[in-house]
Structure 1
Amino acid sequence: MKVAKFGGSSVASAEMLKKVANIIKADETRKFIVVSAPGKRFEDDHKVTDLFIQLLKQFKDGVDYQDTLNKVVNRFRMITEELLLPNDIPNDLKNKIEKLFSMKKSDEQLVDELKSFGEDTLARILSDYLSELGIQSTYRNPKEAGIIVSDDYGNAVILDEAYEQIHQLRNERGVIVIPGFFGYTKNGQLRTFPRGGSDITGSIIAAGVEADLYENFTDVSSVYCVNPKLVPQPKEITMLTYKEMRELSYSGFSVFHDEALIPAFKKKIPVVVKNTNQPDLPGTMIKAEKEDFSKPVVGIASDEGFSSIYVRKYLMNRELGFGLRLLKILVDENISFEHAPSGIDDMSVIVRSHQLTKEKEQKVLKRIQSELNVDTISIQHNLAMIMLVGEGMSQRINVAAKATKAIAEATTNIEMINQGSSEVSMMFGIESEKLQQTVQSLYREFFE
């Protein structure tokens, strides 16, 4: 029994929904289908979710939003007409939006409910289309499916008690189509998941029904070992472990949000990334345990937009609670940190640059200086992080040597090195302007 999730690009048009239907028809074990809202059909197109966000802004600003509303509704109407379905669902969507705007709701509630309409409407359309093709299909709202979540606007988390209810879906006949991205609280209030929400729903359903496989259909045939924007035609990854995928997705890989697959991972359900346009290709399989340790590095992830807060104080290592007090200052200023490499007398804290406004940066520097009485303090901006990922690293003794050699050949200075205790990843901090040439040099070293 399989759970198949189709992303925004896979459901962007009627033509794509026909491909989705053929994929479902081709394998009767694809029993549970989770869908996103329609994505872009072409480069300059709009994602439906972005149109909903624009629509809400216009409504809140008190300006005429009818044009945007018509764009949203017509996007779905175009799909139903091309699939030779009645326009009841798009017309119902317009009525629901107008009704929502007439109700007294908090801004947070408005955002969550309006953004959920994209996935919900598409799920209804797909279920009707499958039925027209003679496939026994049922639409299930997340409330009916048992997706019970925490009461956090835009950042909901599945509750453990939900899985028992979701498990009951196994008893239903035919194909079950479920909209991604949102669930309901115990009190029946709609809440959305964070970024990558439809992936999260698919993972939750796979865990709840204890699927044999979770298929994640997207617009790529597999996960690449490096960002294709940095290295032309990079090699494909055929097999990953959960740990490797999490490290890669955290570090800039765009296939999954780094938290999206956790429910499936916990139940050790294998996940495969496949291409809706080429569904017969094997894709990239993600499993719990490593089977082949011949390649120490499976992928090179990278991301920009980091800053390093560097502090130095003589005998810092003997000062009880120094690190705790330093990080507490960041907590007080609502700044989360990514990495914190340290030495005997110094410590660096790596943060996302967008968290440091000029005012906040000056406040943090002043507090660290006055409260911790440090000898030196500075902030370095425009940093990029490069992460080598592979559980095979722990089996090899020369990975760091090969990596630093490749970085040196790119004439790049290493600003920071950090290796996780899990030995699944090794991270290097460099200047952002050197990112592409450094990644290309590392790719040559480990993959060519």
Structure 2
Amino acid sequence: MKVVKFGGSSLADADHFEQIIKIIKSDPERKAVVVSAPGTRFKGDIKVTDLLIKYANQFLNHEPFENTQTEIIKRYQAIADHFQLPENVMERIATTIQSLPLQTYSDDEFLMAGFKAQGEYLNAFLLTAVLNKIGMPTQFMDPKEVGFLVSDNAQDAHVLDATYANLAQFRNPEQHLVFPGFFGFTETGQIATFSRGGSDITGSIVAKGLDADVYENFTDVDAIYSVDPRMVQNPKSIKVMTYREMRELSYAGFSVFHDEAILPAIEAQIPINVRNTNHPDLPGTMIVPERTFKPTGLVTGVASSKRFAALYLHRYLLNKETGFTLKLLQILYKYNISYEHMPSGIDDLTIIFDKRQFTPELIEQMCAEIQEVLNPDQLEWINDYAIIMIVGEGMQKSPHTIEDIIRPLSDHEIKIHMINQGASKIAIMLGTNESDAEQAVKLVYQHFFDNNRIID
């Protein structure tokens, strides 16, 4: 049995609905479907989720919202009219949208979650009606009714273990099942949404809960590529890669998956197939467990992210001072700041952060306290910081990989601030200036892929 997830670009309008119906019908193993909210239909169009956010903000700010209500309803109406659905289908959709301001929410965060989730909820309800109309018996899997339980973080929820037991009763279904992505219900009955990439998370959870053989994730790309296609023209596509390769590359900027989205599938060791809705006959990219994978090349992919910043501390005989790092971590804890990496030397320490956690005021306040408490000889905040990830299971087999990575960068005078290789030996992380990141990625890609380097 396969779980199939379709993104918003695959569900934007009636023509896209026709395409995904063909995909579902083409393989009898595709029994469970997870859907996003309708995406953009053309350049300049607005996603339904963004319309729902606009609707929620208008309500919160006591502004007129009737036009936004109407615009949202029209998106679903156009699809319903195309398939000539019964009037009661659109009556339920319109009533649900119009009644959102009348519901009770514990706070504004849960209100926003409650509004946003309707994009997926109503699209799943609509697709269920369409499939039943064309003679494909289908059950709408309302998250509240099936027990899709999540934590009480309104817009950053996490699945509860009870969800998997609740989903297990739907294994090996005779009819199709359609799940809305992106959200679940708290134990107190409130809607809470996942973070970005939420429908991918739902798909992965459903795949684990139903014990699927494969989780197919249909999107708008033919495959996962070895490098960002915006950086390199016609990059090499990846036919097969491992879970941990995908995780490492997602962390550094691969946008196909949110880096947490595939964790449930990983836990259940379910292969993931990334495919293109518009070219469904292409094989896409398979993401598989490490134990079944045999690499044919040194490097699988190269990625970069500019979302980082660093704090550099210098103090003579730092390695001899007991408690220095403890005091530093206590300050970070006080300000609710997490760090990504902490490379160090005998007199130096660098802490790398995801800079999305910070405001200018927070940086100033935190650095002032570190200076006061730890009294370093030098303290420098580095906002111009990027991380490059070079990832490949085959790197374990070569003693020359780091040398091969560094040489083209040094030849082009790209400064490297940090080098880190994880214990798994499948990823090498470099720290560079933001301005050098794209060039560094291109040079590494050119060295490993344009030269067709193969494991000896």
Fold conserved between structures, TM > 0.5:
yes
Q: Which residue of 1 aligns with 2:7?
A: 7
- What is the deviation of 1:53? 0.7
User: How many angstroms apart in 1 are the aligned matches of 2:36 and 2:406?
Assistant: 41
Listed as ranges, the matches of 1:198-277 within 5 Å are 198-277=199-278
User: How many angstroms apart in 2 are the aligned matches of 1:173 and 1:108?
Assistant: 38
Return the letter of the residue paired with 1:239.
V
Instruction: Identify if the C-alpha distance between structure 1 residues 423 and 73 changes in structure 2 by more than 3 Å, giving closer, same or farther.
Output: same
Listed as ranges, the matches of 1:360-439 within 5 Å are 360-439=362-441
User: How many angstroms apart in 2 are the aligned matches of 1:243 and 1:195?
Assistant: 20
**Matched-pair contact (CA < 8 Å) for 1:77–1:87:** no
Q: Which residue of 1 aligns with 2:44?
A: 44
* CA RMSD after TM alignment: 1.5
Q: Which residue of 2 aligns with 1:279?
A: 280
Q: Which residue of 1 aligns with 2:453?
A: none
Q: Which residue of 1 aligns with 2:289?
A: 288
Listed as ranges, the matches of 1:331-346 within 5 Å are 331-346=333-348
- What is the deviation of 1:212? 0.5
Instruction: Identify if the C-alpha distance between structure 1 residues 211 and 439 changes in structure 2 by more than 3 Å, giving closer, same or farther.
Output: same
Return the letter of the residue paired with 2:63.
V
Q: Secondary structure at the match of 1:191?
A: strand
User: How many angstroms apart in 1 are the aligned matches of 2:368 and 2:44?
Assistant: 45
Q: Secondary structure at the match of 1:158?
A: coil
User: How many angstroms apart in 1 are the aligned matches of 2:213 and 2:172?
Assistant: 16
Q: Which residue of 2 aligns with 1:350?
A: 352
User: How many angstroms apart in 1 are the aligned matches of 2:406 and 2:68?
Assistant: 52
- What is the deviation of 1:380? 1.3
Q: Secondary structure at the match of 2:340?
A: strand
**Matched-pair contact (CA < 8 Å) for 1:297–1:392:** yes
Q: Which residue of 1 aligns with 2:21?
A: 21
User: How many angstroms apart in 1 are the aligned matches of 2:272 and 2:307?
Assistant: 30
Q: CA-to-partner distance for each residue in 1:157-202, whole Å, 9 max, x for gaps?
A: 1111221210101254210111111112233222211211111111
Listed as ranges, the matches of 1:81-96 within 5 Å are 81-96=81-96
User: How many angstroms apart in 1 are the aligned matches of 2:56 and 2:305?
Assistant: 31
Q: Which residue of 1 aligns with 2:142?
A: 141
User: How many angstroms apart in 1 are the aligned matches of 2:42 and 2:402?
Assistant: 42
Q: Secondary structure at the match of 1:15?
A: helix
Return the letter of the residue paired with 2:164.
Y
**Matched-pair contact (CA < 8 Å) for 1:183–1:190:** yes
- What is the deviation of 1:350? 1.0
Instruction: Identify if the C-alpha distance between structure 1 residues 146 and 356 changes in structure 2 by more than 3 Å, giving closer, same or farther.
Output: closer
Q: CA-to-partner distance for each residue in 1:5-54, whole Å, 9 max, x for gaps?
A: 11111111111111110111111111100001111122321111111111
Q: Which residue of 1 aligns with 2:454?
A: none
Deviates more, 1:229-238 or 1:165-174: 165-174
- What is the deviation of 1:337? 1.5
- What is the deviation of 1:138? 1.2
Q: Secondary structure at the match of 2:261?
A: coil
- What is the deviation of 1:87? 4.7
User: How many angstroms apart in 2 are the aligned matches of 1:133 and 1:72?
Assistant: 25
Equivalent pairs counted in the alignment come to 448
Q: Which residue of 2 aligns with 1:312?
A: 314
Q: Secondary structure at the match of 1:39?
A: coil
- What is the deviation of 1:357? 2.2
Q: Which residue of 2 aligns with 1:176?
A: 177
- What is the deviation of 1:249? 1.0
User: How many angstroms apart in 1 are the aligned matches of 2:348 and 2:137?
Assistant: 64
User: How many angstroms apart in 1 are the aligned matches of 2:94 and 2:313?
Assistant: 56
User: How many angstroms apart in 2 are the aligned matches of 1:231 and 1:293?
Assistant: 23
**Matched-pair contact (CA < 8 Å) for 2:395–2:401:** yes
Listed as ranges, the matches of 1:95-114 within 5 Å are 95-105=95-105, 106-114=107-115
Q: CA-to-partner distance for each residue in 1:306-350, whole Å, 9 max, x for gaps?
A: 211000112222222322221221222222212211111111011
User: How many angstroms apart in 1 are the aligned matches of 2:356 and 2:144?
Assistant: 36
Deviates more, 1:285-294 or 1:247-256: 285-294
Query: Structure 2: which 5+ runs fail to align?
Result: 451-456
Q: Secondary structure at the match of 2:303?
A: strand
Q: What TM-score do you get using the length of structure 2 for normalisation?
A: 0.95
Q: Which residue of 1 aligns with 2:67?
A: 67
User: How many angstroms apart in 1 are the aligned matches of 2:314 and 2:325?
Assistant: 12
Q: Which residue of 1 aligns with 2:151?
A: 150
Return the letter of the residue paired with 1:128.
A
**Matched-pair contact (CA < 8 Å) for 2:339–2:353:** yes
User: How many angstroms apart in 2 are the aligned matches of 1:403 and 1:177?
Assistant: 46
Instruction: Identify if the C-alpha distance between structure 1 residues 132 and 103 changes in structure 2 by more than 3 Å, giving closer, same or farther.
Output: closer
**Matched-pair contact (CA < 8 Å) for 2:31–2:173:** no
Q: Which residue of 2 aligns with 1:321?
A: 323
* Structure 1 ranges of 4+ moved more than 6 A: none
